[in-house]
Amino acid sequence: MTDLIAPATWTVAGIRAAAQPILERLAASARTREEDRDFAFGDVRALAEQRITLVGIAVEDGGAGGTVRDVADLIVAIARADSNVAQALRSSFLTANRVAGRPDLPQRELLLERLRAGDLFAGTANERTGGAGGAVNTTIEPDGDGFVINGEKYYSTGGLYASWFSASARHADGTIVQFTVPVDRAGVERLDDFDAVGQRLTQSGTTRLVNVRVTADEVSPRDNASLDVPWQGGFAQLYLAAVQAGVAAAALDDAVRFVREKARPIKHSSASRSTEDPYVRQTVGEIAARAQAARAAVLFAAEALQEVRGLTGAAARAAGAAASVTVAQTGVIAIENALRAAELLFDVGGASITDRSLGFDRHWRNARTAANHNPRQWKAAVAGAYHLTGEDPPTTGLF
C-alpha cells in the first residue's frame, strides 16, 4: 500500500496525465503478455498508485472530482491500451462508483479510506453451482462473535491484483448478505483457472473460501428494494460497454499502424501504397466510425447515469429506469461495433495480417468474451419493452 498523498493533489487531468505513460507501456506489451500469459502486476499497481479510482469521487471526500463521463472516458482509454487490464479493474471502479453515488452506502467511510490509499478490489456473485436463477450456495454461519464462510466463486475478476475480495453468501434462513475480506485472510484461495477464448489475463478465475472467518462489521445486507433507484447495475453494464469501446479503438490503432508500416497493395490495386488504396481507406474509415460510435454511446449513457444523482422519490425512479434502458442500448451498440471493428481489421491487409505473431485476433476474442457476460439480445428486448409498454427494466444488476 502506497502512502497517501494529500487529496488536494488528485485531479482528473493530473491522474489522466500520470496514467498515460503507463497505458502506453500496457499497449506496447499487450500482445506478448497475452501470448506468454504474463500478468501486468507492475503496471496495474502503477495505475493504482496514481489513484485512478478517485476519478468521479468528490473532492470533499478526498477524490479527484469529475463526473461519470470522466470515469467512462478513462475506462475506454485503459481498455484501448489493454482490455484485459480494464476488465480486471472493474470491481475497483464499481466500488468507487458506489461510494461516489450513494451517501448512504454501508461502510462508506471505510471504503473511501481504502480507495484513497490506492487499494484495488475484486468481487463476484457468480457460482458455477448457482443455477439459472443465480442462486447463492456459498454459506455464512454464526461462529462465536463473527461468522464463517464456505463456498466457491467464479469470475472473480481482478482477483490476483486486488487487496480486498467481496462476494455474496447465504444464511441458513435464505437471507443473502455481502461480505468483504482481505485477500490474504486465512481460507481465501485465489486460483488462476480462467480459460476463456478471450480476456485471458483478467484474473477472472475461482476464489475458494474454506472456513473463512469474518467479523460482523465485514458483513452487510444485500437489499436494493428500499432504494429510490433499484437499478444498481447500470454503471456495471456501462463499464462493459466502455471495455468494448476500448477494444474498437485498439482495433483502429492496429489497423492504422499495419497499413502505414507493413501492408502492401494487392496485385490489382490502383495504388502504389496501401495508404492510398481506396478500399483500405474505406475499411479504416469504417473501423474509425465504429470506434467513435461505441465511445460516443458510452459517454452519452454516462451522462444519463450522472443525471440520476441527487434525485429522490418518483423523479429518481423514473430517471433511473430511463438511464438503465439507455445503458442497455449502449451495450448493444458497443458490442456490435467492437465485434465488427475487430473483424474489419483483417480487411486492411492480405494473408500476412493473420500471422499469429501480430496477435490481432485478440481484439475479436476479447470483445466476444466480454459480450457473453450479459447477452445483448436481452438488452435489446428490455429496451424494446420499455419503449413499447413502459415496462421497467429488471433490477437484476444486468441493466
| CB neighbour burial string for 277-293, b if at least 16 within 10 angstroms, e if fewer | beebeebbebbbebbeb
- The partner residues of 165 in beta bridges, in order of sequence, read 122, 181
Other Cβ atoms closer than 10 A to 375: 13
Cβ atoms of 75 and 33 closer than 8 Å: no
Task: Write down the pTM of the prediction.
Answer: 0.94
By CB atoms closer than 10 A (0-12, 13-18, 19+), residue 343 is: middle
Cell digits for 330? 449502449
Angle at 62 between CA 1 and CA 57, to 5 degrees: 100
Residue carrying C-alpha cell 475479436? 364
Gap between the Cα atoms of 94 and 321, Å rounded: 19
pLDDT by 10s per residue, the chain, length 399: 444 444 458 999 999 999 999 999 999 999 999 999 999 999 999 999 999 999 999 999 999 999 999 999 999 999 999 999 999 999 999 999 999 999 988 889 999 999 999 999 998 888 887 555 568 999 999 999 999 999 999 899 999 999 999 999 999 999 999 999 999 999 999 999 988 899 999 989 999 999 999 999 999 887 677 789 999 999 999 999 999 999 999 999 999 999 999 877 777 777 778 888 899 999 999 999 999 999 999 999 999 999 999 999 999 999 999 999 999 999 999 999 999 999 999 999 989 999 999 999 999 999 999 999 888 999 999 999 999 999 999 998 889
Domains along the sequence of the chain with CATH: 7-119 (1.10.540.10), 139-221 (2.40.110.10), 234-389 (1.20.140.10)
Considering only CA atoms, which of 72, 194, 45 is closest in space to residue 124?
A: 194
State how far the alpha carbon of 398 is from the alpha carbons of 21, 68, 236, 279, in Å: 34, 18, 8, 39
- Up-side HSE of residue 307: CA atoms within 13 Å toward CB? 17
Gap between the Cα atoms of 299 and 27, Å rounded: 22
State how far the alpha carbon of 377 is from the alpha carbons of 248, 335, 348, 372, in Å: 20, 11, 30, 11
Q: What is the pLDDT of residues 46-99, one digit of tens each?
A: 999 999 999 999 999 999 999 999 999 999 999 999 999 999 999 999 999 999
Angle at 177 between CA 205 and CA 306, to 5 degrees: 80
